Amino acid sequence: MEIIKFEDVESKVLTIRNEQVILDSDVALLYGVETRDINKAVKNNPDKFPESYIIYLSEEEKAEVVENFHHLDKLKYSPHLPKAFTEKGLYMLATILKSPQATATTISIIEAFSKIRELGRNIRALSKIQSEEEKRPLMKRSGELITDIFDSDLALSGTETTIEINFAILKLKHTVKKEKK
CA distances from 22 to 72, 81, 90 (A): 11, 14, 8
The residue among 71, 97, 123 that closes a domain is 97
123 within a domain of the structure (yes/no): no
Q: Which parts of the chain are beta strand (E)? A: 14-16, 19-23, 54-56, 83-85, 154-166, 169-180
118 within a domain of the structure (yes/no): no
Domains in the chain, number: 2
Looking at the fold, whether 87 and 145 belong to one and the same domain comes out as no
Report how far residue 85's alpha carbon sits from residue 9's, in angstroms, rounded to the nearest whole number.
13
* 137 contacts: CB under 8 Å, gap ≥ 6: none
Digit-coded pLDDT (tens) for 34-91: 999 999 999 999 999 999 999 999 999 998 888 888 778 788 878 889 999 988 898 8
Looking at the fold, whether 93 and 159 belong to one and the same domain comes out as no
Looking at the fold, whether 22 and 90 belong to one and the same domain comes out as yes
Digit-coded pLDDT (tens) for 25-41: 988 888 888 999 999 99
Digit-coded pLDDT (tens) for 108-153: 767 766 777 788 788 888 888 888 888 888 888 877 777 776 655 5
107 within a domain of the structure (yes/no): no
* Rounded-to-10 torsion of CA 18, 42, 117, 147: -90
Report how far residue 25's alpha carbon sits from residue 82's, in angstroms, rounded to the nearest whole number.
8
The pLDDT value given to residue 164:
44
Digit-coded pLDDT (tens) for 147-173: 776 655 545 555 554 444 444 444 555
- For 28, the domain range is 6-97
